[in-house]
Chains A and B, each alone.
Chain A
Amino acid sequence: MLLRILIKSSWQFYRHHPAQLLLSILGIVLGVGIVTAVLITNNSSQRAFALSTEALYGRTTHQLSGANGLPQSVYVQLKERFTGVPMAPIISGHVAIDENVYSLLGLDPFAEAQFNRLGSGPAATKGTDSLPSADSVPIKTLLQQDALLVSQISAEQHNLPVNDSVTLNVGGEEHNAYLAATYTSANPAATTGLMIGDIAFVQSLLKRDDKIDRIDLILNEQQVEAIRGELPETLQLTPATSRTQTMQAMTRGFHINLTAMSLLALVVGAFLIHNTMTFAVVQRRELFAIKRITGITSKTLLYSILLEAVIISTIGSLIGIAVGYALSGALVQLTTRTINDLYFVLHVQQIWFSPWLILGGLVLGIGSSVLAASVAAFDAASTSPVQTRQRSLIEERTRSTLPIMAIGGFIIMIVGIALSLLPVQSLLVGFAALMLIILGYGLLIPWMVYALSRLLKPWLDKLGVSVSLAAGGIYRNISRTGLAIAALSIAVSATFGVDVMIGSFRSTVDQWLRTTLQSDVYITSPAASSTQNARLLATDSLSLAIDTVGVKSVSSGRSIDARTSVGNIDMLVIQPHEQSSLGFDLITSDSKDPWLQWRQDQTLMVSEPLATKHAVAAGDTIEVFTETRGFLPFEIAAVFRDYGSSHGKILMDRQVFDQHWNEPGISSLGVLLDNTDDDQSVIAALSARLSSSERPLVIQSNTAIHAQSLVVFDRTFEVTRVLRWLTVGVAFVGIFSALLALHLERAREFAILRASGATRRRIMGVVMTQTALMGLMAGALALPLGWLMSEILIKVINVRSFGWSMQSMMPIGAIPETLFMATLSAILAGLYPAYRLSRSAIAAQLRDD
């Protein structure tokens, strides 16, 4: 009953301060929204990936593959040897129609019966020659000439002409195919962007000669044993799940990084929610004091404030979850693009959502709000009604606790820094360190604000009454301003830290590209997607290139997906020219001349992320699955820096490779010119000699590749940037509500000034100067924290999630930019309160109560 009256009174308060209520809710909406959006995004893309592999594997339990595909004959032999065991040959690749890239799966319609791919219903539905649920997946139509099936959703989305022929782009070459039909599957989301064709047709499309990619099998344990016993060592039978795991591991770093960003937003969000709730409570201290005087117990008061926080934060969290859901649509697009750029082709069709998400969002929003409100509520409830009304007492008490808070904050920061220096690989520890540093610094800020504004006061006084009043207002109201500045400062430092991190990363990558692109001109086949390995070049292209006038020397490269003791790793096989070795920045090596050692048999080099993730170093060996002799140990001659892949990379000499693989093809050429001024004419000459309309080639100067790589880099960090701006948005709402509360609480004070002869302009001046000063201080105080955060992000979080070590670099321009941004956002946020105060009715404010 009493509680109801109290709630009613809260409602009355907010009814007269609707802006406060809206801001409180908005702060929570944004905080919860960002985290929800990132959670949904991460889960959607991971789930889409899992779904699509599930759909593609069907009931497959095992896969048989070699180091470099396997001859079709193996399938024929195996089928004869193990009659009755379900097995199906598979070829997969990518094709493009116009701008859209599709996964292409080549399969044998007659072998598919048991596999139940595409989740098309229970297996063995019909007779022998029929395919699973022939109605939903008309695989029989594949038997027509050049026929392809496409998923219904993709056909609709991209307006594909079903029952008509289309032009496919396969590695830059054009081919005709007939879109025989569309199919639907049990889980449409899983099969978006997937085309299916007869294995023979796909083989010819992808120019696989007589090779297939793998054989899918459905085996029981005895069969596994039996087949393993008969396999040559050049073939490997692996559980179907292992490949999925490898691919998921590839993107793990990326998803972790996204989560890190959202956590950062969460911390900022929590701080701001705390800020908002605190102000909502302290603003009514007088009101609460009156209630206490009228006989309401402190316990009832406490409950009523907490209940209010619960109600407000529930509304905010629910809206926040909805906003996050809406936002995730855009984020999913950004992230899939990055995944397609960097890892593999992925179509995310379904935005993932689960009731747990609602629960999580509610816990987050309500939890942080109630936590924040409880501190302020407890304070309001525990001070005696008389003291509550003595504003100067509050300030004095706050002032005396500032040094204690500062010392505590300092200790917490030291613990955080110590934690970050621990030689462990745990990402969690890294995050904990980051959070402690932020928290500790946050506690330090009010004391610094107080000291700084006292210190500057004599100088500021010289600038006139407005500035003097404004500056004094900061330290005289430190219990309020300290909190607001801390919140803004932390928000700004987060964006500054992320800026420095991205800037450092970009300059490191830029530098690395400069070193790594040693050749003047690169020649590759066009690829259907940037993730997919380009097709092979013609066998004579190397000799043709060397003979071209103006060409000094040529290196060749071949990328291959190698199976190793540490998982599937991208392997680059190169036949270097005289400058190739300069393109690799070696971090660790045992021998005097690692390049000489690398040319010996059974040696290779690995990239830094691989070395970091799998804790290997120069001198160690890893096993690589070779085509001719199966698993063989290779010694690591050196570790090289590489920012091209977070999953890791192996570098192998062509001669070493040729001893263990029967794969003479090359996929790229690096051309060194006699004279780089003349590169355009040599490019033209190379193009004339090597490229033809049937076999178009991409011939690019290193500057063009450099520029392209940076474009991909920038795209990768677009998500981070979006999140950063959202964080700024949260910060802005936070500072806005803090300033509004702060100044409205002082409305009477400003009315006194007005009565004593302060014009409206002066009031505007005082308020704006004060908010600008607060913004400037927040910006200045954000710099050290931002720098620390960037150090942790670069040296700890990034190394642990991607395995990349980077040079941290302070972009000088970011400092004034940060100060400017903080000041500007404070000024913008201060405009409305300043306007309100300068216009408020003086007489009403001064009326005796």
Chain B
Amino acid sequence: MTPAIRTTGLSHAYMSGQAKTTILHDVSMEVAPGQTVALIGRSGSGKSTLLNLISGLEPIGTGDVVLNGESMKSLNDHQRTLLRGRQIGFIYQSFNLIPTLSVADNIALPLALAGSKAAQQNHRIAELLTAVGLEGRNRDYPDRLSGGEQQRVAIARALIHKPALILADEPTGNLDANSGRQVMQLLNDLVSQQNSAMLLVTHSMEVARGADHILMLESGGIRRVEPDTLTQSAAW
């Protein structure tokens, strides 16, 4: 079975002034459909950078990203964007909802951008709102929801177009333990229902343990760690 996402020999560096700082070096990893992989690492280790490379938000330098069998490297920005729109759902620590769009409009965004008709969207929106426990809140504005509620809207938005891959960057980072737990529960349930793959960046051991695998970024390299070794090495 083709993995939902695979990176091969991915390297990335930022220019800061004259100096070149390598963030990722020869990173190869993959996530299979239906699988959830947790990505951990110190702050500044390049977790978000890796996610951005995978989603095509950052141009790929060395190495390649293969999304659902399609190599991203050969694509131009336009094609990468279209691919991202179809195949990837995003969840961020700070939600990144559009404040002046209603909850329903925020959720509908990926579908609307893909050009689907409003009538088709409505059914799916209602379905997802119920699934994330926000039925009836479709006309509210996201910046006046609680953090947990906002993240649930973001989850609905990430899932609405049934993408092959969900990228979640510290989805519970801004939430208290309790609502974080609820959001994770919800996310895991919905992702497995859809048989999507999920790459999940987290600082929480508890969240990481819920994943199928755990990958750790360290000094630009990536390696797999076992859940039970986590407690000692986790210095973050």
Q: What is A's interface to B at a CB cutoff of 8 Å?
A: 389-393, 395-396, 461, 464-465, 468-469, 472-473, 476-477, 748-749, 752-762, 842-843, 846-849
A609: shortest Cβ distance to chain B, in Å?
A: 56
Complex alpha-carbon distance, A468 and B116, angstroms? 13
A757-B85, A843-B48 given; 19 more Cβ-contact pairs under 8 Å: A389-B143, A390-B143, A391-B99, A392-B142, A392-B143, A393-B143, A473-B100, A749-B99, A752-B98, A753-B98, A755-B57, A755-B84, A755-B90, A756-B90, A757-B114, A759-B77, A759-B78, A760-B78, A848-B174
Q: What is B's interface to A at a CB cutoff of 8 Å?
A: 48, 52, 55, 57-58, 77-78, 81-82, 84-86, 90, 92-94, 96-101, 105, 109-110, 112-115, 118, 141-144, 157, 169-170, 173-174
* A465 near B115: Cβ-Cβ < 8 Å: yes
B79: shortest Cβ distance to chain A, in Å?
A: 9
A-B contact pairs, 17 of them (CB 8 A): A390-B143, A392-B99, A392-B100, A392-B141, A465-B112, A465-B115, A468-B112, A477-B100, A749-B98, A749-B100, A752-B97, A754-B57, A756-B109, A756-B157, A757-B110, A843-B57, A847-B48
Complex alpha-carbon distance, A755 and B78, angstroms? 12
Closest to A396 in B: B141
Q: Given A476-B101, A762-B113, A849-B94 in contact, is the A843-B58 Cβ separation under 8 Å?
A: yes
Q: Given A392-B99, A849-B94 in contact, is the A843-B52 Cβ separation under 8 Å?
A: yes
Q: Which of A390, A473, A753, A760 touches B109 (beta carbons < 8 Å)? A: A753
Chain B residues, Cβ within 8 Å of A464: 115
* B113 near A757: Cβ-Cβ < 8 Å: yes
B166: shortest Cβ distance to chain A, in Å?
A: 13
Chain A residues, Cβ within 8 Å of B81: 754, 757-760
Closest to A842 in B: B57
Closest to B85 in A: A757
Complex alpha-carbon distance, A756 and B87, angstroms? 10
Complex alpha-carbon distance, A389 and B99, angstroms? 10
Chain A CB within 10 Å, residue with most, of B57, B86, B94, B100: B100
* B92 near A846: Cβ-Cβ < 8 Å: yes
Q: Which of A477, A756, A761, A848 touches B94 (beta carbons < 8 Å)? A: A848
B141: shortest Cβ distance to chain A, in Å?
A: 4
Closest to B169 in A: A848
Chain A CB within 10 Å, residue with most, of B86, B97, B101, B157: B101
Complex alpha-carbon distance, A758 and B82, angstroms? 7
Q: Which of B52, B90, B92, B115 touches A848 (beta carbons < 8 Å)? A: B92
Q: Which of B77, B84, B105, B157 touches A760 (beta carbons < 8 Å)? A: B77
Q: Which of A391, A461, A468 touches B100 (beta carbons < 8 Å)? A: A391
Chain A CB within 10 Å, residue with most, of B78, B82, B84, B142: B84
B13: shortest Cβ distance to chain A, in Å?
A: 15
Closest to B100 in A: A476
Complex alpha-carbon distance, A476 and B84, angstroms? 27
A285: shortest Cβ distance to chain B, in Å?
A: 12
A680: shortest Cβ distance to chain B, in Å?
A: 69
Chain B CB within 10 Å, residue with most, of A390, A477, A846: A846
Complex alpha-carbon distance, A755 and B109, angstroms? 11
Q: Which of B86, B97, B99 touches A390 (beta carbons < 8 Å)? A: B99
Chain A residues, Cβ within 8 Å of B157: 756
Chain B residues, Cβ within 8 Å of A395: 100
Complex alpha-carbon distance, A392 and B97, angstroms? 12
Chain A residues, Cβ within 8 Å of B169: 848
Chain A residues, Cβ within 8 Å of B173: 848
Chain B residues, Cβ within 8 Å of A396: 141
Closest to B170 in A: A848
Chain A residues, Cβ within 8 Å of B113: 465, 753, 756-758, 762
Complex alpha-carbon distance, A754 and B52, angstroms? 12
Closest to B116 in A: A465
Closest 10 CB pairs of A and B: A757-B85, A392-B141, A391-B99, A476-B100, A848-B94, A848-B93, A759-B81, A843-B52, A843-B57, A842-B57
Chain A CB within 10 Å, residue with most, of B78, B90, B113, B173: B113
Chain B residues, Cβ within 8 Å of A752: 96-98, 109
B139: shortest Cβ distance to chain A, in Å?
A: 11
Complex alpha-carbon distance, A12 and B98, angstroms? 27
Complex alpha-carbon distance, A465 and B117, angstroms? 10
Chain A residues, Cβ within 8 Å of B82: 757, 759
A453: shortest Cβ distance to chain B, in Å?
A: 13
B168: shortest Cβ distance to chain A, in Å?
A: 12
Complex alpha-carbon distance, A396 and B82, angstroms? 34
B226: shortest Cβ distance to chain A, in Å?
A: 28
Chain B CB within 10 Å, residue with most, of A468, A473, A754: A754
Chain B CB within 10 Å, residue with most, of A461, A476, A477, A748: A476
Chain A residues, Cβ within 8 Å of B110: 756-757
* A756 near B85: Cβ-Cβ < 8 Å: yes
Closest to A461 in B: B118
Complex alpha-carbon distance, A464 and B113, angstroms? 9
Complex alpha-carbon distance, A754 and B48, angstroms? 17
Closest to A391 in B: B99
Complex alpha-carbon distance, A696 and B81, angstroms? 81
Complex alpha-carbon distance, A396 and B141, angstroms? 10
Closest to B78 in A: A759
* A846 near B96: Cβ-Cβ < 8 Å: yes
Complex alpha-carbon distance, A99 and B219, angstroms? 85
Chain B residues, Cβ within 8 Å of A390: 99, 143-144
A449: shortest Cβ distance to chain B, in Å?
A: 15
Closest to A846 in B: B96
Closest to A755 in B: B90
Complex alpha-carbon distance, A461 and B174, angstroms? 35
Closest to B115 in A: A465
Chain B residues, Cβ within 8 Å of A389: 143
Closest to B79 in A: A759
A107: shortest Cβ distance to chain B, in Å?
A: 79
Closest to B98 in A: A749
Chain B residues, Cβ within 8 Å of A842: 57
* A758 near B144: Cβ-Cβ < 8 Å: no
Chain B residues, Cβ within 8 Å of A392: 99-100, 141-144
Chain B residues, Cβ within 8 Å of A760: 77-78, 81
Complex alpha-carbon distance, A306 and B170, angstroms? 40
Chain B CB within 10 Å, residue with most, of A392, A393, A753: A392
Chain B residues, Cβ within 8 Å of A843: 48, 52, 57-58
Complex alpha-carbon distance, A760 and B109, angstroms? 16
A544: shortest Cβ distance to chain B, in Å?
A: 84
Chain A residues, Cβ within 8 Å of B92: 846, 848
A236: shortest Cβ distance to chain B, in Å?
A: 77
A626: shortest Cβ distance to chain B, in Å?
A: 79
* B78 near A761: Cβ-Cβ < 8 Å: yes
Chain B residues, Cβ within 8 Å of A848: 92-94, 169-170, 173-174
* A757 near B96: Cβ-Cβ < 8 Å: no
Complex alpha-carbon distance, A473 and B98, angstroms? 11
B119: shortest Cβ distance to chain A, in Å?
A: 12
B20: shortest Cβ distance to chain A, in Å?
A: 18
